Chains A and B, each alone.
Chain A
Amino acid sequence: AQSVSQHNHHVILSEAASLELGCNYSYGGTVNLFWYVQYPGQHLQLLLKYFSGDPLVKGIKGFEAEFIKSKFSFNLRKPSVQWSDTAEYFCAVNAGYGNNRLAFGKGNQVVVIP
């Protein structure tokens, strides 16, 4: 079964600081990778995704993630956070064609202090 690990479940940082959230997965085959974000009081929404091609993926709001196949990782980064980035971030993995559900990590609660 697929599993997804996210570390540092609670992250507190100041505006303009850089953010990196780690994500590791356990599946040896072809994967599709995602980061979802849940802002306070809102529903989950897609931040970015990787299906194939360039392993450095750019998403909305200045976020990017890098797929490193050899490390089974898909870390999320943002060079300079804003207060509005306060949210919970979830990494998710889909094992590709024929496996339609997503396995989610436990999430990172990120609080940005103005």
Chain B
Amino acid sequence: GAGVSQSPSNKVTEKGKDVELRCDPISGHTALYWYRQSLGQGLEFLIYFQGNSAPDKSGLPSDRFSAERTGGSVSTLTIQRTQQEDSAVYLCASSLADREAGELFFGEGSRLTVL
């Protein structure tokens, strides 16, 4: 597609369940980012993938969070044993190589609600 595609757009789950959020970046974009947007908190960086390099996981809030990117394209963010504080909109973005890294193109997000 023309833009960054995320699924599901909305997810409601029970506390303690695992969830998977998917991101399909813009074709040809080598960099992929996950951010979390909570009400009134702005965007919190979670993880960054660039080509075949080791990902920058420094923003992941706990070991319940993990992400992978298969074949340098689609990425999956997994949250295990979800907690109510995980409720947020999870945004995926992609960009071209490092020089253009700041020009992020965002998806519409996956809204996660943990009951």
Contact = CB atoms under 8 A, between A and B. Distances in A.
Interface of A: 6, 9, 32, 34, 36, 42-46, 49, 51, 90, 92, 94, 97-98, 100-107
B50 interface: yes
Given A105-B42, A106-B40, A100 B56 contact: yes
Contact of B101 (A9, A42, A94, A105): A94
A45 B106 contact: yes
Contact of A9 (B40, B59, B93, B106): B40
Given A46-B103, A100-B50, A101-B33, A90 B45 contact: no
Contacts of B25: none
Contact of A101 (B41, B48, B91, B103): B48
- By Cβ-Cβ distance, the 7 closest A-B pairs, closest first, are A106-B42, A104-B43, A44-B106, A94-B102, A100-B101, A43-B108, A32-B102
Given A90-B42, A106-B41, A107-B42, A100 B31 contact: yes
B98 A43 contact: no
Interface in B38-68: 40-43, 45, 48, 50, 56, 59
Nearest to A42: B108
Interface in B93-110: 93, 98-99, 101-104, 106-109
B33 A49 contact: no
25 contacts: A9-B40, A34-B102, A42-B108, A43-B3, A43-B106, A43-B109, A44-B104, A44-B106, A46-B104, A90-B42, A90-B43, A94-B101, A98-B98, A100-B31, A100-B48, A100-B98, A100-B101, A101-B33, A101-B56, A102-B45, A102-B104, A104-B35, A104-B43, A105-B42, A106-B42
